[in-house]
Structure formats: structure tokens, C-alpha cells
Amino acid sequence: MLLIVGSIRFSPQNLERARPALRRLIEATRRETGCIAYNYAEDALDPGLVHIDEKWADQIAFDGHLRAPHVAEWRSVNGDFAITDRDLRIYDAGESRSL
């Protein structure tokens, strides 16, 4: 399993404008084969900071995601929202267990 964890920052007004495009990206991604989880969450204490966590079955599924039409659409518009402080990390994960 692959985990992608990190954050991106928008100005608060740009985040509001980005919501429809983010919604399309998230909804389409969650339907992809191999997508276990795909979540964007706004920080409750830091307006404009969005935490991201993704879980993918394997590298093949993640590579397919990067080539998906909805990702290309997001890439074509995300510059309009002045994203800053992008910090995403990819981790290879073994088996998980409940806490």
C-alpha cells in the first residue's frame, strides 16, 4: 500500500473558489480502481491550510491516478487558485492494524 500525506495552502478566498474543482477531483478519484482513501480536509485553526491523505493499493494504481483525465483537469486549473506551501510525501506501507 502507498500513503500520500501532506498539505497545501490556499488563501482563504481562493480555497472557496477552488471547492468545485476540488470536489470534482475528489469524487472522481474515489471511484478509481485501487483508491482506498482520498481525503482533503481544511484545518480548523488555520484558514486555507488543507491536509491531504491518500491510500493506494499499489504503485500501479497510483500511477494510473496520475494519468487520469480528472487529474489533468485539476492540473489545468489549480494555478488559478495560487496554491502555496505544497508539501506531499509518499510512503510505502506494510500491513495495517487497528489501534
- Model's pTM, two decimal places? 0.90
For residue 98, tell me if it sits in a domain: no
Measure the CA–CA gap between 6 and 51, rounded to whole angstroms.
6
- Is 14 buried (19+), middle (13-18) or exposed (0-12) by CB count in 10 A? middle
For residue 60, tell me if it sits in a domain: yes
Domain that holds residue 24: 2-92
How many Cα atoms within 13 Å fall on the side-chain side of residue 38? 20
For residue 97, tell me if it sits in a domain: no
**Span 25-53, pLDDT tens digits:** 999 999 999 999 999 999 999 999 999 99
Domain of 64: which CATH number?
3.30.70.100
Is residue 26 a contact partner of residue 50, using CB atoms and an 8 Å limit?
no
What DSSP element (H or E) covers 22?
A: helix 12-30
For residue 41, tell me if it sits in a domain: yes
Structurally, the chain folds into a number of domains equal to 1
For residue 37, tell me if it sits in a domain: yes
C-alpha separations of 21 from 74, 79, 80, 81 in Å: 7, 12, 11, 10
Q: Which residues of the chain have pLDDT under 70?
A: none
For residue 32, tell me if it sits in a domain: yes
Distance of CA 61 to the CA centre of its chain: 14
